[in-house]
Amino acid sequence: MGSKLKNALVPKHEILDEKKSEKILKFYNITPNELPRMLKSDPAIRELNPKVGDIVGITRISPTAGNAFYYRLVIEG
Amino acid sequence: MKPENLPEKLRETYNRLDKKGKQEFLDDYQKASVVTGEAVGTVAAQSIGEPGTQMTLRTFHYAGVVELAVPLGLPRLIEIIDAKRTPKNPIMTIFLDKNHSKDKEHAEKIAKKLHEEYLKDVCTISIDVKKKALRVETKDEEAEKIIEKLTEKKGDNGVFSITEKSLSELKKLKNKLEKKRLIGVKGIQRTFVREYHGEYVIYAEGSNLKAVLNIEGVDKDRTTTNDIFQIYETLGIEAARNAIIVEAKKVLDEQNLEVDMRHIMLVADQMTVTGEVQAVGRTGISGAKESVLARAAFEETEKHILNAAIYGEIDTLDGVAENIIIGQPIPVGTGTVELAVKPMKSKKDKK
């Protein structure tokens, strides 16, 4: 399940299931509130029907690190 | 460190190595990454700030397209970092889809469609004070139809004479007619078709990403604008982050200043951390700091201290600035480590 927005600037977004979310929080030893945020109405994830509190996994194509993984917490907005 | 996470350039080198070499390569790569507690923000600030002093303070450079004034140099960098809503010189680069990118005529047709044209561009509108009439002359047939529709009056060979009761109403009508858009996309003032790496690309002065992406024949994948806020609104926060990096890098490259990507990426990450594009400065990142002392030390000291006193804010002293004020070791580098003790059972308990 990825974003339907097609543009070179938009990396792949996906909403993580509970199991994966937990794994990530455990790996970084953080609570969801410590993650970077992302608005619920963000055009890149609007079609994925995100819920507030979901964690979105972003696969960036980084010029310095190949595929870089980034996570954002969906917030109201 | 997994080999599939290596940058593409490095992966080629990596694949050429034997098994032992591969492991060493990964270890070295791991070693080169930033150490925990490193003050990356300070390093980034200085790394971008120092070349900034060498930048031309006022440049209007012509990048690629002669007709378009592209603001580069320090003013543009400040624009990006301050997250200005609209850039001084918004510019769009519109790519065409595969079927049409080689066709110059088609490109020009689309370019003409994009460019906005108002009624005042094709007619002469004047007020006759004596007769209390508005005189509109036009040679454009399309414009004629629109004027007829707006004023519900028939024109005589492209000449309209509209009478109103008062002068103020005439002025109102004149304004209304002048602002009527005939064709084009709102915000795009001029367009040019240029050849770029063997295909035709439209450059546009003015920007309206949302509308342009919906036009048929436009490559939705590559079309961009230098208006970061528009990118944020149409493509989302991650695209805005990428745009900040691309734009900032472009400015620095243009002046032959070598700044490592990672510094710019860090700034872009911080600017987008809340899900909205924030400026660096008192309205954005620095103003949103948790610590009262850190905010007061930056700008608007009285305001922050007064508010903190009224609301009874508590400073937990987790950051750097506040600890410098207090005179304590700062949580950077070796200072990040706190003493941790694992309580062991005493010998007596074991027995």
* Structure letter (DSSP) for residue B187: T
Six-digit token string for A17: 């299931």
Give pLDDT, residue B280: 87
Judge whether B220 lies within some domain. Answer: no
pLDDT at res. A2: 43
- Best to test chain A binding among B4, B12, B235, B245 (most A CBs inside 10 Å): B235
Q: How many domains does chain A have?
A: 1
What is the model's pLDDT at position B350? 61
Q: What is the DSSP letter of B289?
A: -
Asked if residue A1 has pLDDT above 50, the reply is no
Task: Specify the CATH number for the domain of residue A63.
Answer: 3.90.940.20
Mutate to test the interface with B, among A42, A71, A75 (most CBs of B within 10 A): A42
Residues of B in contact with A30 (CB under 8 A): none
Judging contacts by C-beta atoms under 8 Å, the chain B residues touching residue A60 are 238
- Strand bridging mode A66-75 / A37-39: parallel
A33 vs B: CB within 8 A: no
Q: pLDDT by residue for chain B (351 residues), tens digit each?
A: 677 767 677 778 888 888 888 888 888 888 888 888 888 988 999 998 888 888 766 555 555 555 566 667 788 888 888 888 888 888 888 888 877 777 778 888 888 877 777 777 777 777 777 777 777 777 777 777 777 777 766 666 667 777 777 777 777 777 777 777 777 778 888 888 888 788 888 888 888 888 888 887 888 888 888 888 999 988 889 999 999 999 888 888 888 888 888 899 999 999 999 888 988 888 888 878 888 888 888 888 898 899 999 999 888 888 888 899 999 888 888 888 888 788 877 776 665
In a domain, A40, yes or no: yes
CB contacts of B237 in chain A (<8 Å) are: 38-39, 42, 44, 72
The predicted structure's pLDDT at residue B265: 92
Q: What pLDDT, on the 0 to 100 scale, is given for residue B103?
A: 78
Tell me whether residue B208 is in a domain: no
Confidence category of residue A4, pLDDT binned at 50, 70, 90: low
Higher pLDDT, A19 or B282: A19
Chain A residues with beta carbon closer than 8 angstroms to that of B246: 9
A62 part of a folded domain: yes
Contact (CB<8Å) B5/A65: yes
Averaged pLDDT for residues A42-54: 86
B3 interfaces chain A, CB cutoff of 8 Å:
no
Taking a C-beta distance cutoff of 8 angstroms, is the pair A71, A56 a contact? yes
Domain range enclosing A52: 12-75
Domain with B82 in it: what CATH number?
1.10.1790
| pLDDT value of position A36 | 92
How far apart CA B127 and CA B255 sit, in angstroms, is 51
B96 touching chain A per CB within 8 A = no
Query: In chain B, what residues touch A67 (CB-CB under 8 Å)?
Result: 4-5
Same domain membership, residue B173 and residue B126: yes
CB distance B5–A9 less than 8 Å?
Answer: no
Structural domain span for residue B45? 35-90+226-288
More confident residue, B196 or A4: B196
Residue A7 is assigned to a structural domain of this protein: no
Q: Is residue A59 part of a domain?
A: yes
Surface of B (252-271) touching A: CB under 8 A: 261-262, 265, 269
Q: How many domains does chain B have?
A: 4
CATH number of the domain within which B327 lies: 1.10.150.390
In this structure, the answer to whether residues B263 and B306 fall within a common structural domain is no
Task: Provide ipTM, 2 decimals.
Answer: 0.91
Alpha helices for chain B (secondary structure H): 8-16, 19-32, 40-54, 74-81, 104-114, 119-122, 141-151, 167-179, 209-213, 228-235, 237-254, 261-271, 292-298, 301-311, 320-326, 347-350
The beta-carbon neighbor of A42 closest among B11, B231, B236 is B236
For chain B, say whether A35 makes contact (Cβ under 8 Å): no
pLDDT at B157: 67
